[in-house]
Chains A and B, each alone.
Chain A
Amino acid sequence: MGNVKFEKIKRPENIKLPYMLDFYPLEDEKNTRISQFFKNLKEGRLTTTKCKECSELLWPPRVVCSGCLSNKLEWIDLGVEGELYAFTEMRAGAPLGFVQDLPFCIGMVKIGGLLISARIDDAKYEDLKIGEKVKLKIMEIEDGRVFYRFQRIS
Chain B
Amino acid sequence: MRKVAIVGGGATTCGKREATWRELVQEAGKAMFDNIENISPKDVEALLVGAAQPERFVFQVHVAPMVAECLGVTPRKVIATTELMCASGQAAIRYAWACVASGMADVAVAFGVEKMFMPDMAEAQTNMTCVLDREWDGVNAMSAPPFFAMTAQRHMHEFGTTKEQMALVSVKNHHYSTMNPIAQFQKEVAVEKVLQSPMVSPPLNLFDCSGITDGAAGVVLVPAEDAKKYTDNPMYIIGSGQASIGNAVNNLASITEWVPLKMAIKEAWRTAKISVSEIDIAELHDCFTISEIMEYEAFGWCEKGKGGKFIEDGESYIGGKIAVNPRGGLLGCGHPLGATAILQSIDILQQFRGDVPKGRHVKDAKTAVAHNLSGAANVHSLIVYSRG
A118 in complex: contacting residue of B138, B140, B198, B248, CB < 8 Å: B140
What's the Cα separation between A98 and B123 when bound, in Å?
A: 11
Q: What residue in chain B is nearest A61 (Cβ atoms)?
A: B136
Determine how close the nearest CB of chain B comes to the CB of A128; give it in whole angstroms.
Answer: 10
A93 in complex: contacting residue of B125, B135, B157, B203, CB < 8 Å: B125
Known A91-B200, A96-B123, A99-B122; judge A86-B141 contact (CB<8 A): no
What's the Cα separation between A25 and B204 when bound, in Å?
A: 29
Known A60-B135, A95-B125; judge A108-B157 contact (CB<8 A): no
A89 in complex: contacting residue of B128, B198, B202, CB < 8 Å: B202
B142 in complex: contacting residue of A89, A92, A114, A117, CB < 8 Å: A117
Q: Which residues of B contact A75 (CB under 8 A)?
A: none
Q: What residue in chain B is nearest A94 (Cβ atoms)?
A: B141
Determine how close the nearest CB of chain B comes to the CB of A100; give it in whole angstroms.
Answer: 11
Q: Which residues of B contact A68 (CB under 8 A)?
A: none
Return the CB mask of B127-160 against A: 1 if under 8 Å, else 0. Answer: 0110011111111111101100111011001000
The bracket for how many chain A residues form the interface is 35 or more
Tally of B interface residues using CB under 8 Å: 38
Return the CB mask of A131-151 against B: 1 if under 8 Å, else 0. Answer: 000000000000000010100
* A115:B249 contact, CB within 8 angstroms: yes
Q: Which residues of A contact B201 (CB under 8 A)?
A: 88-93
Interface centre among B129, B198, B199, B248 (most CB of A within 10 A): B129
Q: Which residues of B contact A95 (CB under 8 A)?
A: 122, 125-126, 128-129, 138, 141, 143
Q: Which of B242-301 contact A (CB under 8 A)?
A: 248-251, 255
Q: Which residues of B contact A130 (CB under 8 A)?
A: 153, 157
* A59:B139 contact, CB within 8 angstroms: no
What's the Cα separation between A98 and B200 when bound, in Å?
A: 15
Determine how close the nearest CB of chain B comes to the CB of A54; give it in whole angstroms.
Answer: 16
CB within 8 Å of A: which residues of B?
A: 122-123, 125-126, 128-129, 132-143, 145-146, 149-151, 153-154, 157, 198-204, 248-251, 255
